[in-house]
Every structure is written in structure tokens, then in C-alpha cells.
Amino acid sequence: MGRYSRNKYDSYGQDENNPDQQYNMAYRRMRRIKGFYIHLVIYILINSYNLVSIFNQSIFGDAVFWKWNTWSVIFFWGIGLTAHGLSVFGRDLFFGADWEEKKIQEFMDKNKNDKWE
């Protein structure tokens, strides 16, 4: 995206008189999702390059390939990537937007059926 269009969209939410708040929220969410996918692609590319280069320098069954130093970057960066993914997608991962309403309705229906008349 060019500099002009990027600045146009980045400064879109700063307009105080903009009535379209849903667009602003959707745009920010899209930017967060896009940032996560870029992070994921960089993670895959760099770690696959590291593994291939270490694999080419050693034999697969060699102890160098299975050392902690080889896998520690992948492990800790994976934890960071998981945290990034949960910050982007995690709010609705376990408890969706309607989960609370569904649970309340379920408890009300259960209590209604358990009462004696």
C-alpha cells in the first residue's frame, strides 16, 4: 500500500466528526489480524531457514540437530506467537459474543423446569 493511501486509512479514525464507528472498529480489527498473519509468516520463514541450515550442517541423527539451542528459539518465539494469536483471536475463542446470553437462558430454562407447581 502506498504512503498516501496508508496515511489516509491510518488517520481515518482520528476524525472526531466521523459517524461510522463500526468501520473504524472493523478496520482496527483487520489491522490486528493482518499483523498476526505477517508475524506467523515471518516465524515460519525464519525458523524453517534456521532448521534447514542446521540440518545441512549436521546429520539428522546427529546430536547437534537435537540440542536445546536448535529448538529454543522456535519454542520461545512460538510462545510469543501464541500470545499474539490469543490477543487477536482469543476474546471469542472460548466464550463467544452470545455465550453469556445462552448460558443465562439455559440456567433460566433449567430452573423453570425444576420448580414444582
Using CA atoms, how far apart are residues 81 and 83, in angstroms rounded to an integer?
Answer: 5
Q: Please report how many Cα atoms fall inside a 13 Å half-sphere around the Cα of residue 22, on the Cβ side.
A: 0
Which pLDDT value is given to residue 96?
Answer: 67
pLDDT tens-digit map of 66-98:
777 778 889 999 999 999 998 888 766 666 667
The larger pLDDT score, comparing residue 108 to residue 63, is at 108
Question: pTM for the whole thing?
Answer: 0.60
pLDDT tens-digit map of 3-62:
555 555 555 555 555 557 888 888 888 999 999 999 999 999 999 998 888 877 776 556
Which pLDDT value is given to residue 18?
Answer: 59
Grid cell listed for 11: 488517520
